[in-house]
Amino acid sequence: MYTQQVGLCKQIVREHYGPIVEAVVAVLAREGRLSLRQLVPRAKQTPRNVRQALAVLIQHGIVTHAMSKEGSLMVTYYSVCLKNILRLQRAGLYLALVEERMGSEGLAVFRTIMANGVSTICNVREVLGVAEMGKAAKLKFNAVVAKLVRDRYIIAVNTVDTITKADRIMQAEVSEVEKLTIPPTAKELLAIRRKILEREEEEYQSSNVVGIKRRASADISADHLSKLHMGADGRAVAFSSHGTGEQNGHSHANGEQQQVDSVDDKQFFRAYFDRLDVFLRNQQIVNYFTDKYNAGAGALLKAILRVTEQHTRTCRVKLSETVSSTQIFQHVSPDAPLVDAIDTSKDMFHQKYDASGNPVVEPSSKELSRERRSEIIFALLEVIHTDSSGIVAKVDERGTGQYRVNFERAAITLRERCVDALVHEKFGSVHARLLRVLRDKQKLDEKVVAQATMLPIAACRERLHDLALAGVIDTIEIPRSADRNPSRMFYLWYINSDKQMRSAMRFVYQAMSNVIERGAKEASARALLVAKTRRQDVIADPSLLTDGERKELQNLARIKQRLAVASVRLDSMLLVVYDTDPHSADLQLLQ
């Protein structure tokens, strides 16, 4: 836990929930697990306000609780999850991702559940006004909700989910130990803990999703259901040239009974952010190959990740499932820009001519033949799996090959890319070149570094010390003699990965705090003008605003837009340097 991280979380909570909730979160983040009796005087709030704040935080998954027996009493202790607070800044990315994959209908359902923290489908129906719609719109809503649950964009919530993860694991461990007749050995205890983690993984990979049930239903034309969409206010609307949704629901029903997925209305659901983080991480992997090669290579990586993401639970998974080249070929989008992605001909000039001497124009991606398309895809696969990053590996030569994504290598590559960008932005291109040399050559003396980077020794030493003060690189001492005299030692520069990631996280936390603080300052400086725009007479007659006030409002909107872009960019860096780290102690506890 970092001071910058706690400060950022306090700012985020204050922006979303207000100062009372911020005071409770600040105490829990600073002091750790506390009971209500300990929390009230430290937060300097009334017991009622503290209870209400805890209820809101538990509802949104920010605070968890656990009961402990102290004497004859059972005391409830509360703890805060800073990771879930940081995810509040990622809400826009989550909503954009759901809209891209599930459409406007899925976005309306997901946004309602995320805004409430935990909600039943019955409550979502009331908020979106589904009861007032026609039969076809209701069927469309049920199909969208079932797909969200089946694809785990939202998951069912049980009573144990609000208990702290560590306490839940300890309770399961105690119950397993009680089944034994003798105290377990260290080896048996390790096997029990591994069994508990495997049980959670099996429940996730199971085809029986909690909250889903099968039922018989009349088949509605898919062509008609595709005409349904959610309106701008989040309510579903049915468009048809022949009547209302109720009439069309009857006209398109063919009377045939089929098994469809149905969601339990009384089951509580919440947004599954771990799943969405996997999608965002995969998008960054796609962007890496797109920037390094071209859009065709990025489209191919996107197809591979789409096949494997079904079994990828969190960003801590190190290896994906194996994927055949046939599966990759089937999942590559028809619109993927494969025409100029790679040259598969043996002509050194690449340009082909017909019998008349005119250049042959390559057909578009949609017009490519199946043979030509497969030739380009297989050639791209050969390039991608031989990439120096080692993200895609070929694990089997049978047939056309089996491939696997190494997420651990992908996380290392993305973190190195992120650190390079931070160093280049803060210090300049020369410092970034020094960092890349040390990463490629490992431990080096400053003279060797100066020769490799073509810099004078004095300038090289100064820049190396800049990077060391920022925590990006470190030194190691190699003594020439047993007395370890400093004057008779070799000092080699190298990259300490753990220290480098900690420095990067502190920088990102501080930058995100600065963005939030700047936005609050700009808004407070124009608070009177913003209040004037909300008056009823100004809303009815915008001409009451002067030209200077309009320009000031436009300037405020432009500043907010820039700050929002900076916040998204910084949050993408945070996803890389923190959420994808498989060795993070916080992630090992929370996942």
pLDDT one-digit tens code per residue, 463-486: 999 999 988 888 888 887 777 777
Q: Report the C-alpha gap between 259 and 282 in whole angstroms.
A: 33
pLDDT one-digit tens code per residue, 313-330: 888 888 888 888 888 888
pLDDT at 542: 85
For residue 335, the number of C-alpha atoms closer than 13 Å in the C-beta half-sphere is 0
Question: For residues 348 and 324, is the Cβ–Cβ distance under 8 A?
Answer: no
pLDDT at 587: 40
Tell me the β-bridge partners of 489.
479
Q: Can you give the residue ranges of every domain in the chain?
A: 3-80, 88-273, 275-405, 426-434+441-495, 500-588
Average pLDDT, the chain: 81
> For the range 405-410, what are the long-range contacts, defined as Cβ-Cβ under 8 Å and sequence gap of 24 or more?
405/285, 405/304, 405/305, 405/308, 405/319, 405/320, 406/318, 406/319, 406/320, 407/281, 407/312, 407/315, 407/317, 407/318, 407/319, 407/320, 407/580, 408/318, 408/319, 408/582, 410/281, 410/285, 410/288, 410/580
pLDDT one-digit tens code per residue, 43-85: 999 999 999 999 999 999 899 888 888 778 888 889 998 889 9
Rounded average pLDDT over 343-361: 58
Nearest to 472 by CA among 498, 437, 444: 498
pLDDT: which is higher, 206 or 98:
98
pLDDT one-digit tens code per residue, 293-312: 888 888 889 989 988 888 88
Residue 334 confidence (pLDDT) above 70: yes
C-alpha dist (Å) from residue 113 to 90, 108, 131: 16, 9, 18
Tell me the β-bridge partners of 353.
359
Residue 249 confidence (pLDDT) above 50: no
The yes or no reply on domain 275-405 and CATH 3.65.10.10 is no
Rounded average pLDDT over 13-37: 91
Rounded average pLDDT over 222-238: 44
pLDDT one-digit tens code per residue, 172-181: 788 888 888 7
Residue 275 confidence (pLDDT) above 80: yes
Q: Report the C-alpha gap between 357 and 67 in whole angstroms.
A: 83
Residue 345 confidence (pLDDT) above 70: no
pLDDT at 206: 59
Question: For residues 50 and 24, is the Cβ–Cβ distance under 8 A?
Answer: yes
CATH no. for 426-434+441-495: 1.10.10.10
Does the fold of domain 426-434+441-495 match that of domain 275-405? Answer: yes
Question: For residues 302 and 286, is the Cβ–Cβ distance under 8 A?
Answer: yes
pLDDT at 48: 93
CATH fold group of domain 3-80: Arc Repressor Mutant, subunit A (1.10.10)
Question: For residues 320 and 410, is the Cβ–Cβ distance under 8 A?
Answer: no
Question: For residues 533 and 545, is the Cβ–Cβ distance under 8 A?
Answer: yes
Residue 518 confidence class, pLDDT cut points 50, 70, 90: very high
Nearest to 88 by CA among 152, 149, 18, 15: 15
